[in-house]
Amino acid sequence: MKILAVSDQVETRLYSPLLREAFSDVDLLIGCGDLPYEYLEYLISSLNVPLLYVPGNHDPGYNPNNPRAQVEGGEHIDQRVVAVKGLTVAGLGGSIRYRPGSVNQHTQTGMYFRALPLLPRLTVNRLRAGRGADILVTHSPPKGIHDDVDPAHTGLQAINTLISLFKPRYVLHGHTHNYRGNLLDPRTQAGATLVINVFPYTTLEI
């Protein structure tokens, strides 16, 4: 399976009539947040494959009854575990809270509470298969891995805990922009898990 994952910045190579030709072998799209929904919808309609996505800190609050607060044709997986094309994928969107009252921003403790709905399914999967999920999709990076020194881009400790407990094969995230030189390598091995900063896009073959 080939995955195309995107986050944070519209990529002109993808937002192009050449998309279908260049990425005709993609089987699954993953959105890691902070992208215009019309951009994600363009990817879906052009490639005709499923999209799983989580919200970033600049995205609107999810509302299944409001077309402007969801990606048409995509599947919102924040705080959910889903099965698609033989893979188990979990989602945990949002970032650290750096502006009180903002949507999709949470304290470190608050993010632990947001992770609770994932635990039953991940625990069962871990007991059956040795890992809770094949892929954990997040907006923010784990704390200390691909995060940055400024308050808005601090990583989330809850993601580290999910990695430790459930050993996903991959964590795909966005939020930190490696053009600033803060990331020498966007792929970091953390135990049994490969953590990948997908900004602005990456492909992954499983």
Question: Given this model, what pLDDT does residue 184 score?
Answer: 63
Does pLDDT of 65 surpass 90? no
Whole-number Å distance between alpha carbons of 151 and 64: 31
Question: Given this model, what pLDDT does residue 67 score?
Answer: 83
Give every strand in the sheet of 28-31, ordered side by side: 75-76, 51-53, 28-31, 2-6, 201-205
Q: ∠ CA 149-136-194 to the nearest 5 degrees?
A: 70
The parent domain of residue 117 ranges over 2-205
Whole-model pTM: value is: 0.96
Does pLDDT of 183 surpass 80? no
The pLDDT of 1-20, averaged and rounded, is 96
Does pLDDT of 179 surpass 90? no
Does pLDDT of 180 surpass 70? no
CATH number at residue 46: 3.60.21.10
Q: Do 84 and 50 form a contact (C-beta atoms < 8 A)?
A: yes
What domain count does the chain have? 1
pLDDT in tens, 19-40: 999 999 999 999 999 999 999 9
Question: Given this model, what pLDDT does residue 92 score?
Answer: 98
Does pLDDT of 192 surpass 80? yes
Average pLDDT over the chain, rounded to an integer: 95
